[in-house]
Amino acid sequence: MKQKRRRLERIPPQQLRAFEAVARLGSVTAAAAELHVTQPTVSVQLRELSAAVGEPLFEPAGRKLRLTQAGEALQQTVGELTSCWARFDARLAEIHGLLRGRLRLAAVTTAEYFVPDLVGPFAAAHPGVEIEIAVENRDRVIERLGRAQDDLAVMMLPPSELPLERVPFLDNPLVVIAPAGHRLAGRRVRLDQLAGERWLMREPGSGTRRVAEEHFAAKVFEPNVAMSVGSNEAIKHAVAAGLGVAVVSQLVVQPASADLAGLAPPGLTVLQVAGFPIRRRWSVVWRRDQALTAAARRFVAYLQEPPASAVSSAPGGTSGRRRHAG
């Protein structure tokens, strides 16, 4: 056991970098390209790392490589080590009165409509902070949180199964959209008047879909789900093409700036359906068992500042972080 511990303590950093890249990308070739080394070099590093650990770290999964149980444990450990060094680096910067380091931010796909506007002023105010943004669907963001891959995540529906801290910061109304010229456009209608419509839904795992399904169940309404679509933009185009109606975040179809509120893109209309908009909020979340870096703490504080100092600084004069995102 002591001999194995000594082997693990002497693992070179380049082996861990190669492992992390392959685990994230699922490919030796892709990892080699990212690390600017040859494919055989990465293969040798993985083989030596596996020998030091005493367990296989990957197994074939079609054309990709999949982590074994030992590989998953090592991936979590490497993530924790990276976070520890990032916190140390940020602490040194704090000692010298600086804010620098890395801010790793995950966001669900719908948040891509406003996260850049939030991050822009923060990045301008803190040029020493390197910001990484990963945009994924809700299931993937939860997976990333479970592996401690990010400092913070922006989502509407945080999972209850993880130990998370949560700070709501922005309203997120969900609305029903239909093709322009729809027979019910401009009228107040009941949900059951849409019983004959074809409904387009986000993919399983989407927070928007889960909230919509919970709302329909509470109203004892069974939509005729004709299609599952993996992106908001695809849903907009499908609805505009007359393929059905859909529930989306108001952000998807209406600009956030107050002077343009109420407008929808060409080809679409927002239906005035009883029980809509569904009121939800965007939150920034992080693991309770994971100490935040100085940059992450500052970003959370920034999100809680008055709107004039954040979203309103975005291009187009966007305002209303306390109001709603649409």
- Torsion sign, CA atoms 94, 100, 106, 110: positive
Neighbours of 304 (CB within 10 A): 12
Domain that holds residue 64: 2-74
Q: Are residues 184 and 230 in the same domain?
A: yes
pLDDT given for residue 326 in this prediction? 36
The mean predicted confidence, pLDDT, of the chain is: 85
pTM of the model: 0.65
Q: What one-letter code names the amino acid at 284? A: V
Does 188 lie in the same domain as 255? yes
pLDDT for 192 equals: 94
Asked whether the predicted pLDDT for residue 96 surpasses 60, the reply is: no
CA 53 remoteness from chain centre = 32
More confident site: 44 or 85: 44
CA pair distance 247, 175, nearest whole angstrom: 5
Reported as a single tens digit per residue, the pLDDT across 8-33 is: 667 888 999 999 999 999 999 999 99
Q: Which carries the bigger pLDDT value, residue 136 or residue 323? A: 136
According to the model, what pLDDT value does residue 314 have?
A: 37
Span 43-70, mean pLDDT? 92
Q: Does residue 153 sit in helix, strand or coil? A: strand
The rounded distance, in Å, linking the Cα atoms of 213 and 201 is: 9
Structure tokens that stand for 237 in this block: 């185009």
Q: Assess contact for 185 and 239: CB atoms under 8 A.
A: no
- Let me know whether 69 and 141 are in one domain: no
Residue 325 lies in a domain: no
pLDDT band at 305 (very low <50, low <70, confident <90, very high): confident
**What's the distance, CA 59 to chain centroid?**
27
Domain containing 250 — which CATH number? 3.40.190.10
Contacts of 260 (CB under 8 A, 6+ apart): 254
For the segment 235-293, what is each residue's pLDDT rounded down to a tens digit? 999 999 999 999 999 989 875 543 334 456 778 999 999 999 999 999 999 999 888 88
How many domains is the chain built from? Answer: 3
Alpha carbon 119 to its chain centroid, in Å, reads: 14
In a 10 Å sphere around its CB, with 0-12 CB exposed, 13-18 middle and 19+ buried, how is residue 76 labelled?
A: middle
- My answer on whether 262 and 119 are in the same domain is no
